[in-house]
Structure 1
Amino acid sequence: MKILRRVVLIFIIVVGLALAAGLWKVNRLANAHLSIQQDTYFTVASGTRRIALAQQLYKARLIRQPRVFQWLLYLHPGLTNFKAGTYRLTPKMRVADMMTLFASGKEAQFPMRFIEGMRLSDWLKQLRASPWIKHTLSDDSYATVAKSLQWDDSSPLEGWFWPDTWLYTAGTSDVSLLKRAHRRMVNAVNDEWNARDKNLPYKDKNALLTMASIIEKETAVAVERDRVASVFINRLRTGMRLQTDPTVIYGLGDNYTGRLTRRDLETPTPYNTYIISGMPPGPIAIPGLASLRAAAHPAKTAFLYFVADGKGGHTFNTNLRDHNRAVRDYLQTLRDKNEQ
């Protein structure tokens, strides 16, 4: 009996030591920091089980002991409720923290910055270059985008997207992001249209957005936007042509070489405001809220002309004589800068 008791005692001790050693390994793994030196993205695929996850984490060199990791999940079942998605892991994160993140379902958020003044074609290139976007558009033509958005308006699609930093999770489709930006711009245009000053020479919301896009391309100086708007509004009211270079550049498309020539100004396009009267058929860029509000609430001025002053802003004038003098001053400023 004494021998049997000793054997049982030894067995209990051995098992106890083994369990203690196992628990120590599990706790050490749970509190171990991930083997990464910088932020890393890891995707938990839909339907992934514990064994498969352990092997994937080991293959990605995020953990060192896949078998011990499985025991961690057995002992802490709350960590096994991991959800499919792409997650951002940080160097200071522990293995237990990682599993808690997987269980939370809080996927990594990726930024897509759509900047005012850009064209829709620029945004489409950004979307196409993003590895985390689900690409569903067959090509980047405006016709394809319009069809995907079920755009049934007769006005051009350019400009009808809200500039912002849009956050999305991995696998979000390109069309989904465009729809969000489009809805936001439609709402903003509706708001500004309803609150616009009376008797503005806009026949519809597209004209308001078109004016906002021209203002966006003409000046980046916030305090000037309503004055720039006033120049174009005054021209429309008096029957003068808008004669704005950004519309000419837009109309030239890929034929624009980076420098406008006299030939360019004489080339007929629907957007050449040196040739056409009134507004071009649609926006030439994506405007921000400030330009949209300037188009809806232009300053009350008699200005008919403006030209760059060489210092980042513009000089505004009511008559051609003073405008020509301002142009000469601007050209002299450029010459002085080139001689320095």
Structure 2
Amino acid sequence: MKSLSRLLLVLIVMAAGAAGYAWWWLNAPLKLATPSVELSIEAGTPPLQVAQAWANAGVQADPRLLYEWFRWSGQARQIRAGSYEIHQGATPRELLAKMVRGDEVLEQARIIDGWSFRQLRAALAKSPSLKPATASMSDAEIMAALGAPAGQAPEGRFYPDTYAYSRGVSDLTVLKRAYRAMQKKLDAAWAGRDTDLPLPNADAALTLASIIEKETGTASDRHLVAAVFVNRLKLGMPLQTDPTVIYGLGENFDGNLHKRDLQADSSFNTYLRPGLPPTPIAMPGGAALEAAVHPARSKALYFVARGDGSSEFSEDLAAHNRAVNKYVRGK
């Protein structure tokens, strides 16, 4: 009987010791090979492979112990895919909690109002930890991958904003979010548009918004700039806007718009061709979209830059010529 009691006591002490060690290990800082360790976990990765991956990445702990902790906690199946980073001092308990919360390390890609699609592609190519899935794709192939309607041009179709993303995701992921965001913004703007606009559809509103985006130097002028172009469309006057000509020149634009450029016919030369160009010329922000569908109530048909970012608006050619003499020619 005494032998049984002694055995039971030994087992209790051993169990207590094991429990104590487990508690200590869970709350003790993990040893790391470097000051910080990063790991990207793909969806569907088994917990055992996650534990092994941390060990391979630089967490100096037995991956079997990590796995048993994941399993024993009851949260092994709650580990989320994503990009994670831990620093010196992190414990096994904190490591698991980070993955269960989805407390990822995120990068950011910013799309600027007025960018062209070419500028957007160049910016994404330089974005940190973004997989360049589109590097060898044409514009048309990218749009097809995004599920865009056949033949839809990419210009203007991506909403300017800051997009956070997990390290290692495809640049298509960012493009898809920006594409959907623009479609949502455009649909909302078009649904709430003024009823007397000379625009046949939402795509025309997007094209007009892109011109407004490129022509506006001061936010307070935006709705008046929109009014000038809407008034011209109603009268059948050419829009006569430099940014469309510059866009049509593409990489041939040398930084200066020449007389020969204005006289060269192209589908984007709004001096020679009436109406809107065939596609947007840039990515308009939300304010430009709103201005396109809610232009100011003005009879202005002309505007000229004052040199301080703002514009002088005129209702007739004589007044416009006086403004040009004042602000451009200095007379």
Normalised by the shorter chain, which TM-score bucket? 0.7 to 0.9
**Aligned amino acid, residue 95 of structure 1:** P
Shift of the 270–66 alpha-carbon distance from structure 1 to 2, 3 Å rule, reads same
Deviates more, 1:52-61 or 1:138-147: 52-61
> Structure 1 residues 174, 108: CA separation in 2 closer, same or farther (over 3 Å shift)?
same
Distance in structure 1 (CA, Å) of the matches to 2:319 and 2:30: 70
Q: 1:262 aligns with which of 259, 263, 268?
A: 259
2:197 maps to: 200
Q: Which residue of 2 aligns with 1:151?
A: 148
From the superposition, tell whether residues 22 and 196 of structure 1 become closer, same or farther in structure 2 (CA, over 3 Å): closer
Instruction: Give, as a single letter, the amino acid of the residue that structure 1 aligns with 2:84.
Output: R
Number of aligned residue pairs: give it.
325
1:300 aligns with 297
Q: Which residue of 2 aligns with 1:99?
A: 96
Does the residue aligned with 1:159 lie in a helix, a strand or coil?
Answer: coil
Counterpart-to-counterpart distance in 1, 2:113 and 2:186: 15
Q: Structure 1 counterpart of 2:81, which letter?
A: G
One-letter code of the match for 1:87?
S
Listed as ranges, the gaps of 5+ residues in structure 2 are: none
**Hey, what's the Cα distance between the residues in 2 that align with 1:190 and 1:276?**
28
> Residue 337 of structure 1 aligns with which residue?
none
Match of 1:111 in 2: 108
Match among 130, 138, 141 for residue 138 of structure 2:
141
1:282 corresponding residue in structure 2:
279
Q: Distance in 2 between matches of 1:242 and 1:224?
A: 17
Gaps of 5+ in 1: 334-340
What residue is the counterpart of 2:220 in the other structure? 223
Instruction: Tell me the equivalent position of 1:272.
Output: 269
For the Cα contact (< 8 Å) 1:26–1:69, is it kept in 2? no
User: 1:1-340 residue pairs with structure 2 within 5 A?
Assistant: 12=10, 20=17, 23-24=20-21, 27=24, 30-32=27-29, 35=32, 37=35, 41-44=38-41, 46-48=44-46, 50=48, 53=50, 56-61=53-58, 63-66=59-62, 69-70=65-66, 73=69, 76-78=72-74, 80-81=76-77, 83=79, 85-91=81-87, 93-130=90-127, 132-137=129-134, 139-152=136-149, 156-170=153-167, 172-331=169-328
Cα deviation code 1:58-94 (max 9, x no counterpart):
4433x34437954972895446556363333354643
**For 1:307, what is the secondary structure of its paired residue?**
strand
Tell me, in whole angstroms, the C-alpha distance in 1 between the residues paired with 2:83 and 2:223: 45
**1-structure distance, mates of 2:114, 2:67:** 55
Q: Distance in 1 between matches of 2:174 and 2:250?
A: 25
TM (norm. structure 2) is: 0.80
TM-score (norm 1): 0.78
Greater mean alpha carbon deviation, residues 188-197 or residues 26-35: 26-35
- Separation in 2, partners of 1:88, 1:253: 41
Instruction: Please give the secondary structure, in 1, of the residue aligned with 2:298.
Output: coil
Q: Percent identity?
A: 35
The change in CA–CA distance for 1:215 and 1:107 in structure 2 (over 3 A counts) is: same
| Cα-to-partner distance string for 1:212-241 (whole Å, 9 max, x where unaligned) | 000011114222111001111222233322
* 3-state DSSP of counterpart to 2:231: helix
Q: Deviations over 1:149-187 (max 9, x none)?
A: 343366533212222223333454444443333333233
In the alignment, the residues of structure 1 paired with residue 31 and residue 305 of structure 2 have an alpha-carbon distance, to the nearest angstrom, of 56
Moved more, 213-222 or 148-157: 148-157
